[in-house]
Amino acid sequence: MNNLHHACLMALLLALGAPAGADALADPTRPPRAPRGQPVEPRGQVRVEAILRSADRQLAIVNGKVVRAGDRVSGVLIDEILKDGVRYVRDGQIHTALLRPAAIPVRQVAEKDR
């Protein structure tokens, strides 16, 4: 009878979600030997995705990150936000990455569908 009470209590605790050694569980979605902490950004191409300007601030989206002058992204220092791109410093040399014009494809309506 004592074992039955013990088994019922354990089942109740498990059903309620009581932690039972959860600290020792590994994340099944984490790749083996994955580094913990912030991912390291690879050095590579600097891609300007948007320029955001207002009277009191200038921001850009570079390689998917919102940056302002003085920030670092992808191994470069953002020196200045321009109206059409950013000026950045890599290895002591100044470079410019321009915002690529966005083209939205428009589907043409056939004459017979009009």
Q: What is the pLDDT along the chain (114 residues), one digit of tens a residue?
A: 566 666 666 666 565 555 555 556 777 777 776 555 555 455 578 999 999 988 899 999 999 999 999 999 989 999 999 999 999 999 999 999 998 877 667 777 766 666
pLDDT score recorded for residue 63: 94
For the chain, the structural domain boundaries read 48-98
How far is CA 13 from its chain centroid?
Answer: 38
Backbone angles phi, psi at 9, to 5 degrees: -65, -45
Tell if the pTM clears 0.85, that is, is over it. no
Give the residue among 62, 58, 59, 60 at the shortest CA–CA distance from 41: 62
pLDDT score recorded for residue 61: 94
